[in-house]
Amino acid sequence: MKMSTISDIDKNKLPMHVAVIMDGNGRWAEERGNDRIYGHQNAITAVKETVEAAAELGIGYLTLYAFSTENWNRPKEEIKALMSLLVHAIHDEIDTLNENNIKLIVIGDIENLPVRLRKRIIWAIDSTSRNTGLNLVVALSYSGRWEILKAMQGIALDISKGKISVEELNSELFSGYLNTSNIPDPELLIRTSGEFRISNFLLWQIAYTELFFTEILWPDFRKKDFFDAILDYQKRERRFGKTSSQIKSEYSNTD
C-alpha cells in the first residue's frame, strides 16, 4: 500500500478544522505488558507528529481530545500520573510551539484541574497568544454534554438579567456561549483505535463533520496516517442536507 505524503494532498481542499479523539493508549501499553501510563507516555510522539502534519499543511485549527470529564472516574494513580505528564509536556513543548508560530487554546473545565497544571496552562496560553499560525486546541476535563449544559446555564442567567430574550435565541447565539465560540466547527473528526463512537466530544459542533475511523492505536499514529485521513476527506462530497445535484449546481455557479 502506497504511503501517503504531503505532496498527495490538494492544498485547495483542506479542512479548516480537524478534531482528533486520541484513543488506544491503554490497550497499546497492555499489549506490551505494561501499565496504562506507559501508553500515555508513548503517545507524545503521536501528538507531536499530528501537530507537525497539521502545521505543515496549513490547517487553521487542530483540536485534540486529551482528557474527558468521564476520565476522572479512572484509577487515581493513572489520573495523577497523567496530570503530571501533561504538566511536563506543556513545559517541554512551549519553545517548539513558539518557534513554529503555534497558538495554544484550551477548552474544558480547567477549574477542575490540579492547581499546578492549571497554572502551567495559563502560562502556556499567554506565552503563545501572539502566534498566528496553527491554533492548537486541547480539550481537558471536557465533554460535549458538560459544555452544552454550561451554555444553557449562561443563557438562562442572561435571560434572567434581561441581557437577551427568549425570542433572540437561535443557533448562532447559542454557539456564542460554547467553549468554542471563536473556533469554527470541525470539518473532519479522526478517531483512532478502531472504536466507532463520539465519546461525548464536540456534540454540538460536529453536526455536519466528516468522520474518519482508523484501527491504529494512538501511540502508533504518525504523519502519514494524518495525511491518509485528509486524503479520505478530500474524496468526500459535503452536502449539508442538500442533494448532490444542488451542490454541483452551486459549485458550477461560482466558476
Residue 6 lies in a domain: no
Q: Which domain holds residue 86?
A: 15-253
CATH, residue 195: 3.40.1180.10
Residue 98 lies in a domain: yes
pTM of the model: 0.92
Question: Does residue 70 surpass a pLDDT of 90?
Answer: yes
Catalytic one of 34, 71, 100, 200: 71
Residue 117 lies in a domain: yes
Looking at residues 120-129, what average pLDDT do you find? 98
Per-residue pLDDT band for 252 (boundaries 50, 70, 90) equals: low
Query: Is 71 a known active-site residue?
Result: yes
Query: What total number of domains does the chain contain?
Result: 1
Sequential DSSP letters for 108-176: S-GGGS-HHHHHHHHHHHHHTTT--S-EEEEEEEE-HHHHHHHHHHHHHHHHHTTSS-GGG--HHHHHT
pLDDT, the chain, mean = 93
Q: For residue range 210-248, list pLDDT tens digits in order.
A: 999 999 999 999 999 999 999 999 999 865 455 555 445
Catalytic one of 23, 42, 179, 228: 23
